[in-house]
Every structure is written in C-alpha cells, then in structure tokens.
Amino acid sequence: MPVGRARWKECLMTPSSSAAVAFLGIGLMGSRQARRLLDAGYDLTVWNRSREKAEALTPLGARVVDTASQAVQDAEIVVLMLENGGIVTDVLFNQGVTEALRPGTILVDMSSIKPAEAQDHARLLAERGVHHIDAPVSGGTVGAEQGTLAIMAGGDAKAFSRVKPVLEVMGRPVHVGPHGAGQLAKLANQIIVGVTIGAVAEALLLAERGGADPARVREALRGGFAESRILELHGQRMVERDFVTKGRSVTHLKDLDNALDAAERLSLQEVPYTALTADLFRGLIENAGDLDHSGLLVELERRNGSPV
C-alpha cells in the first residue's frame, strides 16, 4: 500500500556506519565498491545473478543471499550496480524487490541507464514510500577500487544528504538535480570522454601517417591546451596498442545510444559529435569486438585502409 508523504519523510533517517546496506550487482565495478563498504564497517548483504562472484566477498564479512528480494528486506540503504536499464527494471519490479523494500529505505541506483527509466523507477518506488537516488559513476575499476569515483546524483536533496556518507566511501558524490539528472550528468560525461578518445585517436593517426612518432607527439602535447586525462591514459594505450578491456566499448556505446535517446526526448535537433562517436564505436564492435574504448584508433585505422 502507498505510504503518505508525511510518514515517508519521518522514515528518512541518517545512515550510520552500522547501517544495514544491500548491494545488488557484484561485477567488475560492484565488487570493488562493495569491498570499500565492508572496509568502512557497513553491515553488507550482497546479491549477484552469478552467486560465485558474490561469494568472493564472504571472507570480508559480506552476507550472500540467493535472491535480490532477500538482500533488501532488512536494508536501510540499497545500492544497485547493474548492467543496463532493462536489468534494473527486471530486478526491481519482477523479482520481488519492490515488495520487499521497507518504507523509508533509500535506494541508490549507480547503474548507467536512461534518464527516463530513472524517473519512472523513482515514481513507482515513491508510491511505496521508498526514496530513489540515481547516482551513476565515472572513474572505472581503478576509481572503484581507490574510492575516487565521480558520483553524479539525481533525486530529492534531503534523501541525497542522508545517503551521502555512504557514497563518500566510494567516491566524490555531487547532487546535480532532480530524478534523472544524475543519469543526464553521466551521459554528458560519456559524450565528453568518447568524443575526446576519438579526437586523440584521429590526431595520433594523422601524426603517424605523416611520419611523426605518435609516442613523441603525445609527449610533446602534454602540458599544452590538448592535455587531458584521455591524452594521458588512453593516448598511452594507443601508443602501446594495449586494447585489453579496461573500459568496455559495448558499455560506452550503450551510454551514447542512451544520450541520443535523451536528446530526442528533449527535442534536440542535432547532436553530431555524439552521433558520430556512437557510429565509430558501433563499427569498432562489429569489426574488432569489445575492445577497450581506446580501441577507437583501430576503427579509424580500418576506415583509412589499415588492417584491424
């Protein structure tokens, strides 16, 4: 049954380090985030579709359960880190999670999904007195392990302030607006990262074709106006041709497609950089597989007559 707004706000409590937290999704990112919560002393219950991944956290003090609904039934805070919006919707509304959540629970969805999906989830959860924060992240597995993730949060400001101490264990949370705004911020991040990776790849390809040493060109550009984390890290991967996946191209393409969907919903007529970068990622995946996203260089080489 729906819970009145007055009762809902009464249920909103400030979590302590002894708060019961449920974490759904123990993948490359989630496993590292969960470890940080355990290290910080949180009482953590974890669930993953492949139980063996969650079992790796048992020696650190995590309680592993068989179903997502079991994980959340006693939680004050629920954190989701799942692959896409369809999976988030299925877990929340088809696996008994919503029914198992207690009124006043704060659900923090750190998955990267469509803003419209986050808004729908917030509305449906509010009907049951559950607070929803969409809080996607940037920083990759290194940031997750080190607790330095950029966390972009959308939703009720009061709910965000209550859950902020938990998020600070995992990174640097910033409240950016209402429900769905966190996802919009993540899409902005992915546009900037993707377009910049493409620009670095194109620039190094141009330099190499003209006879310059790409490694020396990258070194020469460092410290000037072209300096960026992308030039530093992804440029180095391009120079070394190290395309072992650290940031999945499939995931980046999903985010760019979500950005195109959001742009259409917001009646933006042209987003050419996003559209072109999505096309490059699509070509990369079709022709070379799910390489690291710095592998855009491989796709540009292919389009310019170089073998993959």
Give tens-digit pLDDT for 168-206: 999 999 999 999 999 999 999 999 999 999 999 999 999
Report the SS3 class of residue 127: coil
Please give the model's pTM, rounded to 2 decimal places: 0.89
Query: Length of the chain in residues, anyone?
Result: 308
Q: Of 55, 48, 52, 51, which is closest to residue 29 (Cα–Cα)?
A: 48
Whether the Cβ atoms of residue 221 and residue 265 lie closer than 8 Å to each other? no
Q: Are 149 and 137 in contact (CB under 8 A)?
A: yes
Q: How far apart are CA 258 and CA 82, in angstroms?
A: 15
- Token pair belonging to 58: 């048992």
Residues of the chain predicted below pLDDT 70: 1-18, 307-308
Q: Which active-site residues does the annotation give?
A: 186
Give the residue among 148, 98, 142 at the shortest CA–CA distance from 124: 98
Based on C-alpha coordinates, what's the Rg of the chain?
Answer: 21
Q: For residue 7, what pLDDT is reported?
A: 38
